[in-house]
Amino acid sequence: MPAPDDDHTGSRIQEQRRLARLTQRELADRIPYSLSLLSQVECGARPATPGFVAAVAQALRVDTSQLTGPSAVTSLPPDRLVALVAPIREALDRYDLGPIPDLPTVRPVPELIAAADALCRQVRATHLRSAAKGLPALILGLTHTAWTGPSTPVWRALASAYRTAHDVTLKLDHPDLARVALDRMGWAAARASDPCIEAVQRYKRATLWRCATSKPLILSGQNLLTGDTSREALAVTGQLHLGMATVAAKNEDANAVETHLAAARELVDRVGGEAGDVHWLSFGQVNVQLHELGASIAMRKFDDALGQARTLKLPASTLTSRRARYLVDRALVEMEAGSAKTSLKFLAQARQVAPEQTRHLPGTRATIRGLVHMSRRAPDSLGGMARWVGL
């Protein structure tokens, strides 16, 4: 990829200049500094002084923070994002405080269980804001019911609601709150005495970490299911193997990646094909292929990834969230192969399919930055995409 690995002020100036469709000479003509200095700053050979940054920001009509600090990827203005997330945080905090007497209404248990399932479906369809709005009332209703009339189905539904809170807050760029939601999921799953839900919770925890903690979490999840040959347990075990493959890829352990992918493939055969109905994991052959592609990208084996991405055919039944992830991965590997037009096409498809999710995926930002660095002058479509993610 032609983009530099470091992320200094000069590289941001270069990105914003290209997004403004200016050459170095054209930008230098607009600031009281030489072309030579601009060139050296962009490549990182010379530091950018505050005066230089201010002059460039004025010429490019951007805020200086876009040139000097890491840009946060946000999909909503901060006040609207807080308005979505704050009620979820408050609902999560009520977990151990007993019944909630000031609730306006408490729905019957069957309705609460159905609502928990419906919110899972909304997240998989990438309707994040809608799911976020519905979560607080559901969590509070289930929390109250779990304290006043505890039962295994209620605890399972509450664990599901906490898992949805994790998925939503993570996709809305609140990883710390996502960890809190997973802690709550583990608390509820233990009370449901459901080892499969506990194993899913440990899988989810492992995906939040990028260190040695991930491996023991996944192994503990597998231990919970030892000896269970039910279809549900086999599908969850297979997903745990995919999690181990992801961890191994981050550690660049190609042998371990293939070992766990092979174990997952064998479990697909034992499960009997796609198991999309098991805990919303969508475990099956397509999911294995998507993890194989993700592992190749993580290990920077882009030639392998390109071949995998181009041969992977998603069935019409593929969940929107997974389809969007594939499209972003495809855009990334096409960009790495130098196919800028094709890459931008897949990014546009991902944005159309799942705009809320696509905006937050790390691969989206990495791809856009790479495309900007490939282009002497960014086309309008790329400039619009960069502004959309807050670059």
* pLDDT tens digits for range 21-36: 888 888 888 888 888 8
pLDDT (0 to 100) of residue 357 = 85
Q: How many domains does the chain have?
A: 4
In a shared domain, residues 293 and 334: no
In a shared domain, residues 100 and 183: yes
pLDDT (0 to 100) of residue 210 = 57
* pLDDT tens digits for range 35-64: 888 888 888 778 888 778 888 888 888 877
Question: Residue 223 domain-assigned?
Answer: yes
In a shared domain, residues 15 and 104: no
DSSP bridge pairs for 275: 283
- In degrees to the nearest 10, what's the CA dihedral of 163, 166, 167, 168? 120
* E strand or H helix that includes residue 260: helix 254-271
d(CA 53, CA 63): 10
Residue with tokens 């890459």: 343
* pLDDT tens digits for range 73-123: 344 556 677 788 899 999 999 999 999 988 888 899 999 999 999 999 888
The amino acid that residue 306 corresponds to is L
Question: Residue 207 domain-assigned?
Answer: yes
In a shared domain, residues 177 and 201: no
In a shared domain, residues 157 and 209: no
In a shared domain, residues 188 and 280: no
Which positions ≥6 away from 2 have C-beta within 8 Å?
370, 373, 374
Point out the domain boundary residue: 288, 313, 338. 313
* pLDDT tens digits for range 255-311: 999 999 999 999 999 998 788 778 888 899 999 999 999 999 999 999 999 999 999
Under DSSP, the state recorded for 280 is: T
Question: Residue 344 domain-assigned?
Answer: yes
pLDDT (0 to 100) of residue 129 = 87
Q: Which two tokens stand for residue 83?
A: 């308005």
Q: Which two tokens stand for residue 199?
A: 């194993």
Question: Residue 382 domain-assigned?
Answer: yes
Domain span including residue 304: 197-313
pLDDT (0 to 100) of residue 319 = 86
In a shared domain, residues 52 and 126: no
Which positions ≥6 away from 78 have C-beta within 8 Å?
none
Question: Residue 369 domain-assigned?
Answer: yes
Read off the pTM: 0.74
Kindly report the average pLDDT of the chain as a whole number.
87
Say whether 240 sits in a helix, a strand or coil.
Answer: helix
Q: Give the helix ranges, DSSP H, for 149-213.
A: 152-171, 175-192, 195-208
More confidently predicted of 60 and 142: 142
d(CA 11, CA 319): 37
List the CATH number of the domain containing 47: 1.10.260.40
In a shared domain, residues 46 and 87: no
Q: What mean pLDDT comes out for the span 147-151? A: 95
* pLDDT tens digits for range 338-366: 999 999 999 999 988 888 888 888 889 88
DSSP bridge pairs for 81: none
Which positions ≥6 away from 188 have C-beta within 8 Å?
146, 155, 156, 158, 159, 162
In a shared domain, residues 57 and 130: no
In a shared domain, residues 128 and 203: no
Nearest to 280 by CA among 90, 84, 125: 125
pLDDT (0 to 100) of residue 72 = 39
Nearest to 324 by CA among 359, 365, 275, 286: 359
Q: Which two tokens stand for residue 200?
A: 């899913």
pLDDT (0 to 100) of residue 370 = 87
pLDDT (0 to 100) of residue 4 = 37
In a shared domain, residues 136 and 153: yes
Nearest to 8 by CA among 39, 40, 47, 35: 47
Question: Residue 2 domain-assigned?
Answer: no
Residue 70 predicted with pLDDT over 50: no
Query: Residue 159: is it exposed, middle or buried by C-beta count within 10 angstroms (0-12/13-18/19+)?
Result: buried
Question: Residue 22 domain-assigned?
Answer: yes
pLDDT (0 to 100) of residue 335 = 92
| CA 371 remoteness from chain centre | 21
Question: Residue 1 domain-assigned?
Answer: no
- Cβ atoms 38, 11 nearer than 8 A: no
In a shared domain, residues 90 and 172: yes
